[in-house]
């Protein structure tokens, strides 16, 4: 029997368990991704994200709620359509790695809109890396020059391999030019990606890494208004996939890069607060990715244009990723039912769940039946 269920005192019926949410732990997510294969997983997630961007008006959307502290941020990201609700809890603490914790940790929930019943409780740390990479690649498929083969990857931490492989599988990137201020992070990335058919070129600076790159991915973590990419590093036709500037006071692109580019965002109200465009005037022109995907507005206008995807991560991507993981988990029998909602014969008798425990325990303790 399920170990979570066993830990509870009350005998639980099969019918009751069937109503409980599926729990997908971090090891379960690893099992699932391994079983599906990375390529299938990233492609499936990108397909779900595209499909959900294409029905943008169906969603009840809001900018995420962020609680800031000196070292980082904790955010809640809710979204729903007519049938399904999701939220993600996620943090961003760039100093965490120095004490052995990831910069980004997350978990999330899917729930049934009609009843409010949670249907999935899931890890989202691994899933966030996958959905972020899938979203980046989806945006680049739409915005980068179609013959892009070389990508500079600045910031070689937890997200970096996911970005690299998503761009290899979904865009045909064959060469990566790598830079991180921490050479050990780059060495880790090289070790993880060797033997996967990518040409890996380790560089000694961002300026060196971006030379000859068709696409520049910045995925650094620093709670600072950084200028990883400056306008003098730009070449005609470059696409910049800016992932790490995702919080007030945390940017990666110099303002003159944004001035020279056509800028694309996920959800404008959120990106104006959190994205690299936070340093631009409130009316700085942007195009939302869904508009380009749906053909409502133009993407890249010509081959020489600089395009920027100012990514901050939007709840719709987690909604799509959670649904992907949920469906895959059910198909592959991964995860277990989590006894989250009290079992009640009479749903108005919540207090009765306490009475039932008391009936079993009291006689043993006091010799008195509590009925
Ligand atoms: N846009 C999104 O949807 C999204 C999703 C997930 C994470 N993120 C952001 O992506 C960033 C990276 O996340 P992670 O989990 O890989 O973090 P991480 O801490 O594991 O890795 C970040 C790397 O950036 C490097 N770095 C810092 N400053 C640098 C600089 N000036 N030049 C080059 N390298 C530098 C660090 O040495 C580190 O290796 C974070 O800022 C995170 O908030 C964004």
Three-state DSSP class for 213? coil
* Residue 135, domain member (yes or no): no
Enumerate residues lining ligand 1, CB below 6 A.
Answer: 92, 94, 97, 103-104, 128, 132, 154-160, 179-182, 185, 219-222, 226, 228, 243-244, 246, 311-313
Same domain, 307 and 321: no
Task: Using alpha carbons, select from 218, 255, 210 the residue that is nearest to residue 236.
Answer: 210
Residue from 246, 276, 310, 318 carrying the catalytic annotation: 246
Which ligand 1 atom minimizes the distance to the CA of 159?
16
Which is nearest to 321 in space by CA: 62, 160, 124, 162?
A: 124
- 307 and 359 in a common domain: no
- Residue 17 has what pLDDT? 84
Overall domain count for the chain: 2
320-351 pLDDT per residue, tens: 999 999 999 999 999 999 999 998 989 999 99
Burial class (CB in 10 A: 0-12, 13-18, 19+), 165: buried
Question: Rounded CA gap, 276 and 258, in Å?
Answer: 8
1: confidence class by pLDDT, cuts 50, 70, 90: very low
Q: What one-character DSSP code corresponds to residue 279? A: G
Q: How close is the Cα of 220 to the center of ligand 1, in Å?
A: 3
Q: What are the φ/ψ torsions at residue 183 (nearest 5 degrees)? A: -60, -25
Distances (CA, A) of 190 to 53, 182, 187, 200, 209: 33, 13, 5, 7, 15
The answer to whether the CB of 189 falls within 8 A of the CB of 156 is yes
**Residues 238-254: tens digit of each pLDDT:** 999 999 999 999 999 99
Within-domain flag for 308? yes
Are 165 and 309 contained in the same domain? yes
Rounded to 10 degrees, the C-alpha dihedral 268/272/274/277 comes to 110
Any domain includes 132: no
Q: Are strands 106-112 and 65-68 parallel, antiparallel or unpaired?
A: unpaired
Same domain, 361 and 220: no
Query: In this structure, are 207 and 332 located in the same domain?
Result: no
Per-residue pLDDT of 142-194, as tens digits, reads: 999 999 999 999 999 999 999 999 999 999 999 999 999 999 999 999 999 99
- Cα–Cα nearest to 149, from 172, 133, 165: 172
Q: How many Å lie between the centroid of ligand 1 and the Cα of residue 50? A: 24
d(CA 186, CA 154): 10
Residue 246 annotated among the catalytic residues of the structure: yes
Answer yes or no: do 174 and 187 share one domain: yes
Count CB-CB contacts under 10 A for residue 152: 29
Helix ranges restricted to H, the chain: 3-6, 14-19, 26-36, 38-53, 125-143, 160-171, 183-193, 206-210, 255-259, 268-274, 289-293, 315-332, 352-366
Tell me the per-residue pLDDT of 60-115, one tens digit each, with 9 for 90 and over: 999 999 999 999 999 999 999 999 999 999 999 999 999 999 999 999 999 999 99
Q: State whether 175 and 299 are in the same domain.
A: yes
Counted residue by residue, the chain has a size of 371
- Ligand 1 center from residue 12 Cα (angstroms): 44
User: What is the residue range of 276's domain?
Assistant: 143-313
Task: Report the CATH number at residue 40.
Answer: 3.30.1780.10
The enclosing domain of 189 has a CATH number of 3.40.50.720
- Residues 176, 193 contacting (CB under 8 angstroms): yes
Sheet holding 336-337, edge to edge: 65-68, 73-80, 84-92, 106-112, 118-123, 22-24, 336-337
């Amino acid at each position: 029997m399920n170990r979570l269920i066993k830990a509870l005192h009350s005998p639980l019926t099969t019918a009751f368990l069937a109503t409980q949410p599926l729990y997908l732990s971090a090891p379960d997510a690893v099992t699932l991704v391994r079983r599906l294969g990375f390529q299938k997983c990233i492609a499936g997630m990108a397909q779900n994200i595209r499909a959900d961007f294409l029905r943008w008006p169906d969603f009840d959307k809001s900018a995420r709620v962020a609680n800031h502290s000196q070292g980082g941020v904790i955010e809640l990201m809710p979204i729903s359509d007519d049938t399904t609700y999701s939220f993600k809890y996620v943090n961003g603490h760039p100093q965490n790695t120095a004490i052995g914790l990831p910069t980004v940790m997350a978990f999330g929930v899917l729930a049934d809109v009609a009843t409010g019943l949670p249907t999935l409780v899931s890890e989202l740390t691994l899933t966030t890396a996958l959905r972020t990479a899938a979203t980046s690649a989806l945006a680049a498929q739409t915005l980068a020059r179609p013959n892009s083969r070389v990508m500079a990857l600045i910031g070689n931490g937890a997200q970096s391999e996911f970005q690299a492989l998503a761009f290899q599988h979904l865009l045909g990137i064959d060469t990566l030019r790598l830079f991180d201020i921490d050479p050990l992070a780059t060495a880790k990335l090289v070790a993880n990606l060797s033997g996967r058919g990518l040409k890996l070129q380790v560089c000694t600076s961002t300026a060196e890494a971006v030379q000859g790159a068709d696409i520049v991915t910045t995925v650094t973590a620093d709670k600072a208004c950084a200028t990883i990419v400056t306008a003098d590093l730009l070449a005609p036709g470059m696409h910049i996939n800016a992932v790490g500037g995702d919080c007030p006071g945390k940017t990666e692109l110099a303002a003159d890069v944004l001035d020279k580019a056509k800028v694309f965002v996920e959800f404008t109200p959120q990106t104006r607060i959190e994205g690299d465009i936070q340093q631009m005037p409130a009316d700085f022109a942007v195009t939302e990715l869904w508009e380009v995907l749906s053909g409502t507005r133009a993407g890249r206008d010509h081959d020489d244009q600089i395009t920027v995807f100012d990514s901050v991560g939007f709840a719709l991507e987690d909604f799509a990723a959670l649904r992907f993981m949920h469906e895959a988990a059910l198909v592959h029998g991964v995860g277990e039912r989590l006894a989250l909602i009290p079992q009640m014969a009479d749903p108005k008798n919540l207090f009765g769940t306490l009475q039932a425990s008391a009936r079993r325990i009291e006689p043993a303790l006091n010799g008195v039946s509590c009925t």
